Amino acid sequence: MADYGGKGTCMEEKRQINAQVIGQNIRRIRLEHGETQQQLGALLGYGATTIANYETGYRMPDLETFFQIALHYGASLEDFIREQETAIPDESQNGFI
């Protein structure tokens, strides 16, 4: 067997970090537009749990769904993949879930 120096693990870690960044940005942009997970989910034909999974990085939206989210918010795909330096608002303070 060939030894790839743990590159598979590194790639998996990168994918997880990217999923978390994308999820945080979906949440940030959704909150900036005053929508709940349930509202975004209804627009996409999914439940709030699916949106929560996207936002935590547990799941990634497929490309079509990702594009629909961007179109809905008038955002570019780059807005979702770029790491943000600002804090994400706490939904519980706004009554959103």
pLDDT-derived band at 65, boundaries 50, 70, 90: very high
Tell me which of 9 and 20 has the higher pLDDT: 20
Domain boundaries defined on the chain: 9-83
Residue-level pLDDT at 77? 87
C-alpha R_g of the chain:
15
Q: 9-83: what CATH class?
A: mainly alpha
Asked whether the beta carbons of 38 and 48 are under 8 A apart, the reply is: yes
| pLDDT tens-place string over residues 11-64 | 666 666 789 999 999 999 999 999 999 999 999 999 999 999 999 999 999 999
Q: What predicted TM-score, i.e. pTM, was given to this entire model?
A: 0.74
What is the distance between the alpha carbons of residues 97 and 87, in angstroms, rounded to a whole number? 18
Asked whether the beta carbons of 44 and 68 are under 8 A apart, the reply is: yes
